[in-house]
Each structure stands twice: as structure tokens, then as C-alpha cells.
Amino acid sequence: MYVAVKGGERAIDNAHAWLAEERRGDTSVAELSTDQIREQLSLAVNRVMAEGSLYDPDLAALAIKQSRGDLIEAIFLIRAYRTTLPRFGASLPVETADMACDRRISATFKDVPGGQVLGPTFDYTHRLLDFKLAADGEVAPAATSEPRTEPTPHVTGFLGQDGLIQDETPSDETPRDITREPMSYPADRATRLQNLTRGDEGFILSLAYSTQRGYARNHAFVGELRIGKVAVEMEIPELGFAIEIGEMELTECETVNQFAGSKTEPPQFTRGYGLVMGQTERKAIAMALVDRALRWKELGEDFLGAAAQDEEFVLSHSDNIQATGFLEHIKLPHYVDFQAELELVRKLRAEAEQNVATKEAAE
Amino acid sequence: MSDQNYNFAYLDEQTKRMIRRAILKGLAIPGYQVPFASREMPMPYGWGTGGVQVSAATLTPDDTFKVIDQGADDTTNAVSIRKFFERTANVATTEETAKADVIQTRHRIPEAELREDQILVYQVPIPEPLRFLEPRETETRKMHALEEYGLMHVKLYEDISQHGAIATSYAYPVKVEGRYVMDPSPIPKFDNPKMDMPAIQLFGAGREQRIYAVPPYTKIVSLDFEDYPFEATKAEHACDLCGSTHSYLDEVILDDQGNRMFVCSDTDYCRSRRAAGHVGRLGTENELEASA
Amino acid sequence: MTPLLEVRDIRKTYGSFVGCTDVSFDLYPGEVMGIVGESGSGKSTLLNCLAGHLEPDQGQVVFDTLADGPVDTVTMSEPERRMLSRTDWAFVHQHARDGLRMSVSAGGNIGERLMAVGDRHYGNIRDRAIDWLGRVEIKEDRVDDRPTAFSGGMQQRLQIARNLVTGPRLVFMDEPTGGLDVSVQARLLDLLRGLVREMGLSAIIVTHDLAVVRLLADRLMVMKDGHVVETGLTDQVLDDPQHAYTQLLVSSVLQV
């Protein structure tokens, strides 16, 4: 005799218990601490902070531990937590010109004021597995020197002095908060940049790559890439002035792109911009390329039908939490709808067979 | 066992007020998709975040809450959402349709007629009925604003000319009070006629940031042609457990010989009928005890 | 008699380039106006301004609506204009692809306008689609085929059927025979002439082909560099051109 399936609740509890056990893995191997994750898997931590839109390395490390290293799952944990946090106010815009740079390079000039600073980069490592790390990860301290104390000027600023690069119109308008207002189109650039900076690294990377391969090519030079710490300041109404409430690591990329111009306006380079939390260089460069591709209308370019130019396409598919949720929901039961489809297909098939039979009988 | 770390029903009061404003606007313009600043919930998008936010903004501490998925209270996602509100809102929950004040559903409308004092909350994946004809939000909003729904009928026309019948079996589009074309969420078309009901119907799409609503006794018309009228179809069987001939049925494959049985998708409806002594082809008098 | 369309002082520029300027004329019910000129003369810009696809920089396009009489369509609201363009107006594009839904059957293409204005009887819609297929000389058994399976000439005839099925009061045509083979053009022209006479259509036809206007147009407007250089009855303009440019235009083509 058939008895309808029961016990969903117990099945869920058991699944969760099993999941916890799997997360811990073999108990004869020492448990990973969140400190270890924060310090030794810092690029994973950075990505989770950037796409989780919450600058807190400890929480990001916890999320990575809890999600068994599934970074999208970790980002999800951070986002869900972030939503519940009270908002005390907004900081002042950070001054990236005052950044204490760990890394700062320009591809457009051989040397620039402030210098080319390689910093801790994978760029010139030979990608050979280092088997020593499997046995002993201790390293000798790296060489140090006195940090520069003066600000490091932006490379695009030098181009701007000569009018060689397009000026961006300054605005004191408060940008909208995409986590507090529904998206609507067309979106302004501030909104687009917000969306891109928390967008999925893989998605933004692939779109940027597609522009390089000719789908809305905008020929980007990395005018400057800088990584380092900036001070975060907040205006305290009771005090009447701004105080520094902390600092955060950021990656900023400004690209110098294909010039625009016309008979009446002399040619000028244009810009793409990327700014991402933490050391997230690939994402920041990709963001700058996609930003530039999305600016086709304001720069008087043609819409070439490329995905990276299509604002609604890019912005509505960049969020990996939305994407993964919707993708994975198709594994939920859909048997009611499937039953409706089944009945319909059976009915249509019966009618089609009937038609064939009547036709044959007639012939 | 309410979790003291969270506000009542998880969302903060300001967010709930924002959602209530969207709900009220939706009720004032039946079938119109109201954009709202959907929050990131601690469950995945696509798994009912829209419905959960609407329920959170609708529930009061004295309410009794019911959650169904595919018509059943015991499906995993229904269990998960019910638990969420037990934990964050400490509300009473029930599996009995008649005892619930707020019912959150995915893919079904309960068989028993709902009352004026009840609210039905639908989980909606894609709120835009025109989405698969026109992917752009900027275009579809214009089409709704200008009531340009001709394309919708072109799709139905193509169905008939190709298949001899309208080939949409769920998420069957409806026209609300003669104005907006609306996606009723992926309920089977069997449920469409029930939407003209005494209860308030609220629709939440979290990922797509839309809320819409149908006030009580609103005229809901399923799109069709005069000579190819809408049909609310279901499997042509009776429930094998309770014998009902007018409820929506799930088909269950029993063995690899092709034997199947058909049972009510609305588990509470089936249970109450059996409790009242109705017995289907494969049901027995004492099965309730057996499964309890 | 009230003109069906009163065009007053239309001007459209692209930056410093003049698309068209100083264009004014009246179109009376049942009249077919031809606009001729070489490519770049501004005739297509003008047509798109008249049909509401482009917003002119200045000027009025007053249409005699059934409900409210003469109304300026340039300043009317977008919903009203879109309503007009799916009821009283029709637009035949040069390229049939721009005017058809390529993934929808021929019947669905013709039926769309009927459904857009509220026809809800499948059988009637289909009958009218089949009737119109016949009127544009497409066999009934092609009704469920998609336009992708049609030849260029058939696609253009289908586009015409799709536009005329609701009996529009004003039809805009942009090079309706452009891009077709000469023999196909002749057949299409013949068909169009039949429909224009039979239905008493009012139309504005833009073309660079004088044979088209000779056959279809009652009156003619000749454009060059965005300006109207000559207007008049078709035969008068073609047989006795006054403006030097018109003379050149007429002499450079074979007489028909």
C-alpha cells in the first residue's frame, strides 16, 4: 500500500548534521582556524569581502570555513548577514590618491612620479608547483625599505593636465544604494559601478575578455593599477568634523582607452574605472574594461550588439548570489508543473494520433 | 523558541514597512508589478525569498501560518520555510488550510476555498508574463504601461496553429480586472479559476524585486480565444487515496511495470477527506494510523 | 474637405547636418503622395519624422483622428502615438525583416494587428489571415510557415498583408520595392496598385524609383539635400519637370 512520503523535517536535520561532519573532514587532521584562513587564504577572503560587500576579514574567513571553501556560498553567508546590520551612516568618499600603496604600476609610461612598485604579485612567478610548501611553508622575511610618505599621484592626472584624457564631471549627488533600492534601467554610472564591484569575478572577467577579443573592443591600456590601504573617514554630526574610523585595503584600476573626438572636438582618451575591496587585481581590471564598454552611449559610440555593452544584460546577470539561487532552484520539486506538462503532451499526442488515424481511414 | 537575536519575522521594522507599502500599492493597482528593494535573505534566491519577505511583512504574532510546496506541507522547502518562521517569529503553524491565517505557497492553490480573513502568499520566480516573448525589462514595462498585449495572443495563436491547442499548462497568463496581464506564478492552469477568491492574494518575487497583488473578488480571466476557450485540466482520474474527482493529482510511479497511482497534490485536502471517511481505489480505512 | 494629414514646416537635423527642412504639404483621403530623391536627399528622414519614428526638431504632423479630429502627432503622448501606429497607421519597411516577426508563422504575422486591437476568435483571425495571403498572392497552405522559409518577394508581400489587414487609414512605405529583383518588383508594384485602387488607400511612398511613383502616386514631391525642390501632380512633374534637378532625375531613367 502506498503511503505519502513523510519525514521531510527529519531528513533535513540529518542532512545538516552530515554536512557539518563533512565540513570538518578527517578529525585526525588539525582543525583549520579562521585566523589561518584570514592570514593564509587572504585572496579568498578578499573576494568574499568584495562580492559580499562587507569589509570584515574575520567574518569572511568564518564564512569560508563554514562554506567548506565554496566562495559563492561564503559570499552568500556574508550578504545575508550584511542585510541585518544596522546602518549608522555613510563614510566620506575615500581618497585613493592618498592610498598607502603596496603595489602601483602603470602600463602607459615607463616610469611615473611615485615609481613603479611591483608589490606582492604573482605576475612574474613561474607557475611551478612548490613542493616545499607541502612540507614546510615557513619563509624568510622579505626585504623592506622606508615607505614613501608623500601621496602617490594618479597617472591619469598627468594626462588630464594636458587635456589628453576626458574629464569626468564631478558630482556631489549621493549615489543610490543598490542594496536598498530596486534596480531600474537605464542605470547611471554610479549604479553600474556599484553593481560591477560586487558582481561575480568570473562573469566580469569573461565579459571584459570578450571586449578584448572584439565584442565591443575599446582598446584598454592599464593607465594605473594600485593596491593599498586608504583611510575611511566619517563626518560625526556631534563633532562637526570628520574623523578617521579605520582603514581598508582597496584595488583601483584606471584604464586609458581608445580616444574619441570629432571634427569639432579634438581627440581625447577615455576612461574605464574599477575599484574593488581588498587585493582583487583581476576583478578591478575586468571591472574597468566592462565599465568602459557600458559607456558607449555617453561617449557617442555605436551599440554593436555586444554583451558587454548591454547594460540590462550585464547588470541583471552579474550577481552570483542571484544567479546561483535561481539556477539551483530547479532542483526543488517541480512535479506539479511537470504533471501539467505531462497531461498536455499526452493530450496533444492523442489528438495527433487521432488525426493520423482519421486521415488514413479517409484514404 | 523564537530566536532573540533577530527581529520579529527576521526583517527589521523599516524593511517590513517598505514591503507593506509595496503590498498596498499592489493591492491598489491589481496585477501591476511593484518594484521593491528586496533584501538578501538567509535562503537562496529562487527558493521563496520573495514569498518569505511578503509573509514576514504580513504576519502578526497571533497569526497561524501554513506553508505548502507542490500542495504538500511536508516537502523539503516548505518544511524549511515553516521552520524559519517558527524560529524567527515564533508564530503558530498548522497544516490545516482552514486554520491558517497566512498561507505561503509554491506552485499550488489549496483545494478548499479560502476565506476573506485569509491571505495567500505566492512565491514567484519570474513575475513578468511577457519575459519569454521580450527579455528586456525596459520594453516589457512599456508594453504593460501601454497595454500592448497583442504579442501575448500571437503566442497563443502560434500554439494552436502548431499543436491544435494552447500549449501552456502552468504559469498560464491571466488578465486582472480587465487591465494588467499577470503571471499567476507557476501554478498549474487547473488552479487559475480559483484565483477569483474571497482571500487576499499576494505575490513576491525576491530576486526580481517585484511584488504584486490581487484583492478579494477580483476578476481574473485566463487568456484564450473564443473558439479555443481556456480549460482547467488535470489528470483524468480520481484520487487513489481519497477518491476525489475534482482535485489536482500527482502521478506516482509504483514499479517498473508502468503501474501508477494518482493522489491529491493538496495533502491536507486529501487527509481531511480520508478523515471524513472517503476512500479511494488504493486507500484503506486505517491508513491514517499506519502513516502517523 | 479636411486633409487626412497636414505637414507643417518639418525640420530634422543631425548635429550640423540637415536631414530635412522646410517641408510642408497636405494629404487628402484617398490620395497617394510619392516622395522621390536620391539617397541622402532626406526622404527617409522625413518619412520617419512623419510616422513618429523620429522626433523632428520643429514642425507639426497633424493627423485627422477618428475620435478627436485633427491632432498634432508630434506632441501627442507616446501611448496615443503607439495606438495610432497599430490601428490607423501602417508602415511598410524596405526590408521585410524589419517589419515582420521572423520567428512567427505567416498567419501569426498577419493576425497580430487584429489581436492587438482585440480580436479574440482564432478561427476568424485565421480566416482573415488566409484571405489576406490570397490577396497578396501567397498560397493558403503557407499560412503556418515562417517568413524565413519565404522568398524576398513573398516576405515583402506578407509584410504588406500584415500592415493592411486592419484597414489602416494611412500607410507609410519606405522603398517598398527596394532590394527586390526587377521581375519581382514588377509583380509587387502590380499588386500594390491593385490594393491602392481597391481599398482607396491613402499613402506616402518614399522611393528613388520613378517607375514606382508613376504607377502609384497621385502627387509627387522631389527632394534634394533635405529640401523639397518641386511638387505637383505626378504626370505633370514627370512629363514636364521644372527644376533642374528633377529634369536630371527624369532624364536619367528609362521612361515607363
In this prediction the ipTM stands at 0.88
Average confidence score pLDDT of chain B: 93
CB-based contact (8 Å) between C37 and chain B?
no
Q: Is A280 inside a domain boundary?
A: yes
Q: Which residues contact C3 (CB under 8 A, 6 or more apart)?
A: C26, C27, C28, C62, C64
Distance to chain B for A153, nearest Cα, Å: 38
* Rounded Cα distance, B51 and A279, in Å: 37
Question: What does the pLDDT average to over B41-57?
Answer: 94
Q: Is B31 inside a domain boundary?
A: yes
Q: Three cell numbers at C119?
A: 480580436
Contact B36 A182 (CB under 8 A): yes
Helix (H) or strand (E) holding B2: none
Q: Among A151-160, A352-361, B76-85, B96-105, which is the least confidently predicted range?
A: A352-361
Residues B145 and B83 in one domain: yes
Q: pLDDT band for B2, please (50, 70, 90 cuts).
A: low
Contact A348 B163 (CB under 8 A): yes
Q: What pLDDT does A87 receive?
A: 84
Contact B287 A3 (CB under 8 A): yes
- Using an 8 Å CB-CB cutoff, list chain B residues near A8: 74-76, 78-79
Q: pLDDT band for A150, please (50, 70, 90 cuts).
A: confident
User: Which of B75, B169, B237, B252 should one mutate to test binding to chain A, selecting the residue with the greatest count of A CBs within 10 A?
Assistant: B169
Residues A124 and A39 in one domain: no
Q: Is the pLDDT of residue A270 over 80?
A: yes
Query: B-contacting residues of C 48-77, CB under 8 Å?
Result: none
Question: What does the pLDDT average to over B114-135?
Answer: 94
Q: pLDDT band for B4, please (50, 70, 90 cuts).
A: low
Domain final residue pick, B190, B222, B254 = B222
Average confidence score pLDDT of chain C: 91
Q: Is A241 inside a domain boundary?
A: yes
CB-based contact (8 Å) between C144 and chain B?
yes
* Rounded Cα distance, A193 and A185, in Å: 14
Residues A48 and A113 in one domain: no
Residues A29 and A108 in one domain: no
Residues A127 and A261 in one domain: yes
Residues A347 and A211 in one domain: no
DSSP A25: -
Question: Annotated catalytic, B26?
Answer: no
Residues A274 and A212 in one domain: yes
Q: What pLDDT does C143 receive?
A: 96
Q: Among A301-305, B67-71, C128-132, which is the least confidently predicted range?
A: A301-305
Contact B138 A2 (CB under 8 A): no
Q: pLDDT band for A79, please (50, 70, 90 cuts).
A: very high
* Rounded Cα distance, C163 and C66, in Å: 19
Q: pLDDT band for A324, please (50, 70, 90 cuts).
A: very high
Residues A78 and A104 in one domain: no
Residues B134 and B255 in one domain: no
Q: Is B8 inside a domain boundary?
A: no
- Using an 8 Å CB-CB cutoff, list chain B residues near A179: 37, 40
Domain final residue pick, A56, A82, A108 = A82
Q: pLDDT band for A262, please (50, 70, 90 cuts).
A: low
Q: What pLDDT does B118 receive?
A: 98
Residues B184 and B241 in one domain: no
Q: Is the pLDDT of residue B122 over 60?
A: yes
* Rounded Cα distance, B90 and B60, in Å: 10
Average confidence score pLDDT of chain A: 92
Q: Is the pLDDT of residue C253 over 70?
A: no
**For C88-102, what is each residue's pLDDT tens digit?**
999 999 999 999 999
* Rounded Cα distance, A37 and A54, in Å: 17
Contact B233 A347 (CB under 8 A): yes
Report the side by side order of strands in the sheet with B64-69: B34-35, B210-214, B200-205, B119-123, B102-106, B64-69, B92-93
Residues B255 and B127 in one domain: no
Q: How far is CA A26 from the centre of its chain?
A: 33
Q: Three cell numbers at C156?
A: 515583402
- Using an 8 Å CB-CB cutoff, list chain B residues near A176: none
Q: What pLDDT does A7 receive?
A: 63
Question: Annotated catalytic, B283?
Answer: no
Q: Is B7 inside a domain boundary?
A: no
Residues B167 and B262 in one domain: no
Domain tally for chain A?
A: 3
Contact C121 B158 (CB under 8 A): no
**For A203-234, what is each residue's pLDDT tens digit?**
999 999 999 999 998 889 999 999 999 999 99
Q: Among A155-159, A337-341, C12-16, C28-32, which is the least confidently predicted range?
A: C12-16
Q: What pLDDT does C24 receive?
A: 95
Contact B40 A79 (CB under 8 A): yes
- Using an 8 Å CB-CB cutoff, list chain C residues near B154: 101, 104, 108, 111-112, 115
Q: Among A97-101, C143-147, C193-197, C224-228, which is the least confidently predicted range?
A: C193-197
Contact B150 C123 (CB under 8 A): no
Distance to chain C for B39, nearest Cα, Å: 34
Residues B97 and B239 in one domain: no
DSSP A227: E
Q: Among A47-51, B58-62, B255-259, which is the least confidently predicted range?
A: B255-259
Residues A32 and A163 in one domain: no
Distance to chain A for B146, nearest Cα, Å: 18
Q: What pLDDT does B3 receive?
A: 62
User: Which chain B residue shows the shortest CA-CA distance from A311?
Assistant: B136
Distance to chain C for B248, nearest Cα, Å: 29
Residue with cell 611551478: A128
Residues B263 and B180 in one domain: no
Q: Is the pTM of this model over 0.90?
A: no
Query: C-contacting residues of B 84-123, CB under 8 Å?
Result: none
Nearest-CB residue to B227 (from C105, C116, C121): C121
Question: What does the pLDDT average to over C167-177?
Answer: 93
Give the best-scoring range by mean pLDDT among A341-350, B31-40, B277-286.
B31-40
- Mark out the alpha helices in B164-276 (DSSP H runs): 267-275
* Rounded Cα distance, C203 and C30, in Å: 8
Q: Is the pLDDT of residue C209 over 90?
A: no
Q: Could you tell me which of B65, B154, B111 has the C-alpha nearest to residue B273?
A: B111
Q: Is the dihedral of CA B111, B112, B113, B119 positive or negative?
A: negative
Nearest-CB residue to B35 (from A8, A184, A332): A184
Contact A2 B83 (CB under 8 A): no
Q: Is the pLDDT of residue C139 over 70?
A: yes
Q: Residue C233 forms beta bridges with which residues?
A: C219
Q: Is the pLDDT of residue B259 over 50?
A: yes
Q: Could you tell me which of C234, C193, C221 has the C-alpha nearest to residue C5?
A: C221
Q: Which residues contact B79 (CB under 8 A, 6 or more apart)?
A: A8, A9, A12, B67, B73
Q: What pLDDT does B290 receive?
A: 44
Query: A-contacting residues of B 126-165, CB under 8 Å?
Result: 136-138, 163-165
Q: What pLDDT does A149 receive?
A: 84
Q: What pLDDT does A88 receive?
A: 85
Contact B150 C82 (CB under 8 A): no
Q: What pLDDT does B287 receive?
A: 52
Contact B145 C79 (CB under 8 A): yes
* Rounded Cα distance, C196 and B163, in Å: 37
Q: Are A52 and A78 in contact (CB under 8 A)?
A: yes
Domain that holds residue A345: 333-362
Contact B150 C101 (CB under 8 A): no
User: Which of C80, C81, C120 should one mutate to test binding to chain B, selecting the residue with the greatest count of B CBs within 10 A?
Assistant: C120
Residues A126 and A205 in one domain: yes
Three-class SS state of A355: helix
Q: pLDDT band for C1, please (50, 70, 90 cuts).
A: confident
Residues A105 and A65 in one domain: no
Residues B35 and B115 in one domain: yes
Contact A83 B235 (CB under 8 A): no
Question: Annotated catalytic, B46?
Answer: no
Q: How far is CA C116 from the centre of its chain?
A: 20
Q: What pLDDT does C187 receive?
A: 87
Give the count of Cβ contacts less than 8 A between chain B and C: 55
Domains contained in chain C, CATH given: 5-98+170-253 (3.40.50.300)
Out of B26, B204, B206, B242, the active site residue is B242
Domain final residue pick, B222, B243, B278 = B222
Residues B175 and B63 in one domain: yes
Q: Three cell numbers at C88?
A: 490607423
Q: Is the pLDDT of residue B186 over 90?
A: yes
Out of B48, B51, B264, B280, the active site residue is B264
Length of chain A: 363
Residues B127 and B33 in one domain: yes
Question: What does the pLDDT average to over A345-350?
Answer: 89
Q: Residue C45 forms beta bridges with which residues?
A: none
Q: Is the pLDDT of residue A2 over 50?
A: no
Out of B31, B48, B71, B204, the active site residue is B31
Domain that holds residue B239: 234-286
Q: Is B194 inside a domain boundary?
A: yes
Question: What does the pLDDT average to over A337-358?
Answer: 89
Q: What pLDDT does C178 receive?
A: 83
Q: What pLDDT does B27 receive?
A: 98
Q: What pLDDT does A6 receive?
A: 59
Q: Could you tell me which of B216, B180, B219, B184 has the C-alpha nearest to residue B197?
A: B216
Domain final residue pick, B222, B250, B269 = B222
Domain tally for chain B?
A: 2
CB-based contact (8 Å) between A363 and chain B?
no
Q: Is B291 inside a domain boundary?
A: no
Longest dimension (CA), chain C: 56
Q: pLDDT band for A26, please (50, 70, 90 cuts).
A: very high
Q: Is the pLDDT of residue C40 over 90?
A: no
Q: What pLDDT does A256 receive?
A: 94
Q: Is A88 inside a domain boundary?
A: no
Share of chain B above pLDDT 90, in %: 82
User: Which chain A residue shows the shortest CA-CA distance from B232?
Assistant: A340
Contact A326 B45 (CB under 8 A): yes
CB-based contact (8 Å) between A10 and chain B?
no
Q: Is the pLDDT of residue A53 over 60?
A: yes
Q: Are B192 and B172 in contact (CB under 8 A)?
A: yes
Q: pLDDT band for C254, please (50, 70, 90 cuts).
A: very low
User: Which chain C residue shows the shortest CA-CA distance from B148?
Assistant: C116
Contact B169 A1 (CB under 8 A): no
Q: pLDDT band for A363, please (50, 70, 90 cuts).
A: confident
**Which CATH number do you get for residue B108?**
3.40.50.11310
CB-based contact (8 Å) between C116 and chain B?
yes
Q: Is A71 inside a domain boundary?
A: yes
Q: Three cell numbers at C121?
A: 476568435
Question: What does the pLDDT average to over A271-282?
Answer: 96
Q: What pLDDT does B289 receive?
A: 46
Taking only Cα atoms into account, the Rg of chain B, rounded to an integer number of angstroms, comes to 20
Q: What pLDDT does B283 receive?
A: 79
Q: pLDDT band for A145, please (50, 70, 90 cuts).
A: confident
* HSE-up (13 A, CA, CB side) for residue A180: 11
Q: What pLDDT does A355 receive?
A: 84
Question: Annotated catalytic, B242?
Answer: yes
Question: What does the pLDDT average to over C103-126?
Answer: 94
Residues B108 and B31 in one domain: yes
Query: C-contacting residues of B 187-226, CB under 8 Å?
Result: 224-226
Residues B216 and B243 in one domain: no
Contact B164 A322 (CB under 8 A): no
Residues A357 and A296 in one domain: no
Q: Is the pLDDT of residue B103 over 60?
A: yes
Q: What pLDDT does A1 receive?
A: 43
DSSP C203: E
Question: What does the pLDDT average to over B24-51?
Answer: 95
Residue with cell 486505517: B286
Q: Is B208 inside a domain boundary?
A: yes
User: Which of B157, B159, B221, B227 should one mutate to test binding to chain C, selecting the residue with the greatest count of C CBs within 10 A?
Assistant: B157
Question: What does the pLDDT average to over A319-331?
Answer: 95
User: Which chain B residue shows the shortest CA-CA distance from C120?
Assistant: B225
Give the count of Cβ contacts less than 8 A between chain A and B: 160
Distance to chain A for B30, nearest Cα, Å: 20
Question: What does the pLDDT average to over A56-66?
Answer: 98
Domain final residue pick, A82, A104, A123 = A82
Phi, psi of A175 (to 5 degrees): -65, 150
CB-based contact (8 Å) between B150 and chain C?
yes
Nearest-CB residue to B44 (from A179, A328, A336): A328
Residues A210 and A231 in one domain: yes
